[in-house]
Amino acid sequence: MKNWIVTFIIVVIIVFAFSGIMFFQEIRATVKSNNVKVGDTFMIKANSRNPYDENYLIKGKIIDKCGSYVLYVNEKGDTLSTNIRDAFLFPQTIEIKITNDENTN
């Protein structure tokens, strides 16, 4: 009986630790995406592990924002949108650089 209690406590600790880490990552990504402003320039580079595939690159100037979605103009003058929060959520595979008049992130 004592072994089951110890096992249960270990499982509960692991579940809470994992949930806490995920919660922290979600909050961090949300805060960073909320700091992005209209007029900022950004570059998102998704690194591909596939040696036969190219990295995915998005660049543009933000012209509007609604929540975590941004409307931007790319180098060719096309207007597109993307979820900027997702770029902050996966820093292991996605590099993001935001440039504004005040500082660089």
DSSP 104: B
Confidence band of 102 (pLDDT split at 50, 70, 90): low
For 55-90, write each residue's pLDDT tens digit.
889 899 999 999 889 999 999 999 999 999 988 988
- Residue 72's nearest CA partner among 105, 29, 40 is 40
DSSP 98: E
Q: Are strands 56-66 and 69-73 parallel, antiparallel or unpaired?
A: antiparallel
Residue 104 predicted with pLDDT over 70: no
More confident residue, 69 or 91: 69
Residue ranges and CATH numbers for the domains of the chain are 2-99 (2.30.30)
Residue 105 predicted with pLDDT over 60: no
In DSSP notation, 31-74 reads HHHHT--TT-EEEEEEPPS-TTSPPEEEEEEEEEEETTEEEEE-
Question: Which pLDDT belongs to residue 50?
Answer: 84
Adjacent-strand bridge partners of 79: 73
Question: Which pLDDT belongs to residue 47?
Answer: 84
